[in-house]
């Protein structure tokens, strides 16, 4: 809601991605979101602009494998990795189906609930990563409920990486008026936090 209120749009997101790619030619770049903005933008147009802007992959959380023809198949044909989410309840044949066309890595959702509201359980992460590795050779990256360097270190030790989003969003949302009024202050704060997270994850491998 804050992004929309500030005037953010999908075209602006794609433009931001292209500017990022121009400055950072070797850093993997993934867009994550829902299908409706892509559908409204036009799927073919979106894929072409994403590829043209240097995007490497997509995480589209509301498109199950049954809807692969909508976006997954044409994205893969264009060279975009289509990253799948696996939850604690993705089991058996469903796990095979979900990971069949996955690319880049598998994103393991470590908790059942809304992102950023709970903490991930390390034992359950270890069991889930083992289960996922039985059906795919892709790296398994854990997200949801990871908010501190300590949690990142623990989760990273059980898989191939971690995703941290809500904790960074919270840093921005909680910034006071003084921080918002000074150029670069919030960016530096986020940069320092990310450096701590990165160090913790690297130590876990």
Q: Mean pLDDT, consecutive 10-residue segments, the chain of 205 residues?
A: 92 98 97 97 98 98 96 98 96 97 96 60 90 97 93 94 93 84 90 96 89
Do residues 104 and 81 touch, judged by C-beta distance below 8 A? yes
Residue indicated by tokens 């409920």: 145
Sequence-distant (6+) residues with CB within 8 A of 125 are 108, 110, 142, 155, 158, 159
**Six-digit token string for 39:** 């559908």
The CA distances from residue 136 to 64, 106, 177, in Å, are 18, 9, 47
Residue 128: alpha-carbon gap to chain centroid:
18
Specify the pLDDT at position 48. Answer: 98
Specify the pLDDT at position 145. Answer: 85
Specify the pLDDT at position 119. Answer: 63
Whole-prediction pTM value? Answer: 0.90
Specify the pLDDT at position 44. Answer: 98
């Amino acid at each position: 809601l804050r992004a929309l209120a500030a005037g953010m749009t999908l075209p602006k997101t794609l433009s931001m991605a292209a500017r990022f790619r121009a400055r950072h030619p070797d850093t993997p770049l993934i867009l994550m979101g829902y299908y409706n903005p892509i559908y409204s933008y036009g799927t073919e147009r979106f894929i072409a602009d994403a590829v043209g802007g240097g995007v490497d992959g997509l995480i589209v959380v509301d498109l199950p494998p049954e809807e692969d023809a909508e976006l997954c198949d044409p994205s893969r044909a264009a060279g975009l990795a289509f990253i799948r989410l696996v939850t604690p309840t993705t089991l058996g044949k469903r796990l095979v189906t979900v990971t069949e066309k996955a690319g880049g890595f598998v994103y393991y959702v470590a908790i059942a609930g809304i992102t950023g509201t709970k903490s991930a359980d390390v034992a359950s992460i270890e069991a889930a990563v083992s289960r996922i590795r039985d059906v795919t050779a892709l790296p398994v990256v854990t997200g949801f409920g990871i908010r501190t360097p300590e949690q990142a270190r623990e989760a990273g030790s059980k898989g191939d990486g971690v995703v941290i989003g809500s904790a960074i969003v919270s840093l921005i949302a909680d910034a006071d008026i003084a921080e918002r009024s000074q150029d670069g202050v919030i960016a530096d704060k986020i940069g320092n936090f990310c450096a701590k997270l990165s160090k913790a994850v690297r130590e876990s491998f």
